[in-house]
A and B are shown apart, each in its own frame.
With several copies, the nearest count.
Chain A
Amino acid sequence: PTASVCGLTPEMIHRYSRHLLLPSFGVDGQLNLSKASILVVGAGGLGSPIAMYLAACGVGCLGIVDGDNVELNNLHRQIIHTEAYVGEPKVKSAAATCHAINSTVRVVEHREALLASNALDIMSQYDVIVDATDNLPSRYMISDCCVVLNKPLVSGAALGLEGQLTVYHYNGGPCYRCLFPTPPPATACQRCSDSGVLGVVPGIIGCLQALEAIKVASSIGKPLSGRMLLFDALSGHIRIVKLRGRSLNCDVCGENSMFTRETFQSFDYENFTQSPFFPSSNEGLQL
């Protein structure tokens, strides 16, 4: 045992041996991970592989926030849940799976929807935030809250047979509002529940989000900040494109921003986006 092993228990050295062997990750990377706390917002299609890989890799504290219950038609893509948990809270189901994979990771269950009223309180407890939600108001809200709290945000989305991924508000890079200062018309917003999604597509994007969260939390590699990954499952095309930098005129992260914690808490995201946090009750599929 040398000085560099400090902080790693014998069980950690055994469990994470394949990480420790990596010259570009090694003991420092594992120690950084073990001290980091990461919040996954949403325990659905994206959140499933994110939470499982973050638990497996040995992040110190893993928070999961979601207010929904598991439904049978989630299971085609939300591999963290099992049939036995249908009807139970997603957070409870997800935490049980993470605990079964790695009982040495502290998993915190936030069994509620993330809203402007509780986001500051919940998100302030974590180092890195991962957006795995499925609706537009949440995406603006989480990005704004990350700017207000100065946290990096790993953001992924999947719909149909396509996916997108980037890291916001990291190392001087843009926030969600820098890219999308004005919300799209409500008619342009589709959800998985309306338009469908091939189950493995959020799986791919979620794994890539877990990787970016690990890179940010362990300070290795070059996170996908100022760049966006675009994935098209049908053609098998993946491209990584260069994004604009942070906008000095951004309403939230710009130089003269007046956007404070107080602004955030009273901001009406549903009205701003003309789109609800929660989809209307699941209607049966009409074939």
Chain B
Amino acid sequence: MEPCGTLILLNFNGGLELLCRSTKVHHVDVELKPGADGLIMKDLLCWIRTNLIKERPEMFMKGDSVRPGVLVLVNDCDWELSGNLDTRLEEKDEVVFISTLHGG
């Protein structure tokens, strides 16, 4: 079967995996919006909210971005370095969502 979208490797950590049936690693195929010329982080967050987050979406998102205290890494780089919500994603990119820990 031909992939109908962009293959992305998702990784939820620091407790965020509890929002996705306690599974940390997800290989997902994200369909492009009609007319879009590529996938950006903003689209991916919408897709995750609709398709992956099973409970308490407010623990993952706030407005159209992630909630405070969540670091987003695209290919092991802070998404602030690549454009935040506008970061362009390519086939086989890895996106990590990690909740900051405070325990000790």
Measured between beta carbons, the chain B residues less than 8 angstroms from A179 are: 71, 100
Bound: A181/B33 CA distance, A: 32
From A159, A241, A242, contact of B101 by CB (8 A)? A159
B68 interface hit (Cβ, 8 Å): yes
Bound: A191/B15 CA distance, A: 12
**Interface residues in A106-135 (C-beta closer than 8 Å to B):** 132-135
Q: Knowing A160-B15, A183-B68, A184-B67 touch, does A134 contact B78 (C-beta < 8 A)?
A: no
**Interface residues in A210-236 (C-beta closer than 8 Å to B):** 228, 230, 232, 235
Which of A39-47, A54-62, A95-103 forms contacts with chain B?
A: A39-47
B98 interface hit (Cβ, 8 Å): yes
A189 interface hit (Cβ, 8 Å): yes
Measured between beta carbons, the chain A residues less than 8 angstroms from B102 are: 133-136, 139, 157, 159, 189-191
Cβ–Cβ contact B15 & A192, under 8 A: no
Cβ–Cβ contact A184 & B68, under 8 A: yes
B74 nearest CB neighbor, chain A only: A241
A163 interface hit (Cβ, 8 Å): yes
**Interface residues in B67-93 (C-beta closer than 8 Å to A):** 67-71, 73, 76-78, 80-81
**By CB atoms of chain B within 10 A, which of A45, A139, A164, A228 has the most?**
A164
Encoded as 1 (CB less than 8 Å from any A CB) or 0, chain B from 18 to 61 comes to 00001010000000000000000000000000000000001100
Shortest Cβ distance from A193 into chain B, in angstroms?
9
B6 interface hit (Cβ, 8 Å): no
Bound: A97/B83 CA distance, A: 49
A284 interface hit (Cβ, 8 Å): no
**By CB atoms of chain B within 10 A, which of A134, A189, A197 has the most?**
A189
**Interface residues in A67-104 (C-beta closer than 8 Å to B):** none
Measured between beta carbons, the chain B residues less than 8 angstroms from A180 are: 68-69, 100
From A157, A232, A239, contact of B76 by CB (8 A)? A239
Shortest Cβ distance from B23 into chain A, in angstroms?
12
Q: Does more than half of chain A's interface fall in helix, strand or loop, or is it mixed?
A: mixed
Cβ–Cβ contact A164 & B73, under 8 A: no
A244 interface hit (Cβ, 8 Å): yes
Bound: A70/B77 CA distance, A: 40
Cβ–Cβ contact B76 & A241, under 8 A: yes
Bound: A23/B68 CA distance, A: 25
Cβ–Cβ contact A158 & B101, under 8 A: yes
B14 interface hit (Cβ, 8 Å): yes
Cβ–Cβ contact B99 & A188, under 8 A: yes
Bound: A192/B103 CA distance, A: 5
Cβ–Cβ contact A184 & B104, under 8 A: no
Cβ–Cβ contact A232 & B103, under 8 A: no
Cβ–Cβ contact A157 & B103, under 8 A: yes
Cβ–Cβ contact A185 & B78, under 8 A: no
Q: Knowing A139-B102, A243-B78 touch, does A182 contact B13 (C-beta < 8 A)?
A: no
Cβ–Cβ contact B77 & A188, under 8 A: no
Cβ–Cβ contact A244 & B80, under 8 A: yes
Known: A158-B101, A241-B73. 16 other contacts (CB 8 A): A42-B104, A157-B102, A159-B14, A159-B15, A160-B103, A180-B100, A184-B68, A184-B69, A184-B99, A189-B102, A190-B103, A197-B103, A230-B13, A232-B13, A243-B78, A244-B80
Enumerate 12 A-B pairs (CB-CB under 8 Å) in ascending A order. A45-B103, A47-B104, A133-B102, A157-B102, A159-B101, A181-B68, A184-B68, A185-B67, A187-B59, A190-B103, A202-B104, A242-B76
Which 9 A-B residue pairings sit nearest by Cβ, starting from the closest?
A184-B69, A159-B103, A182-B68, A244-B80, A157-B101, A134-B104, A46-B104, A192-B103, A159-B101
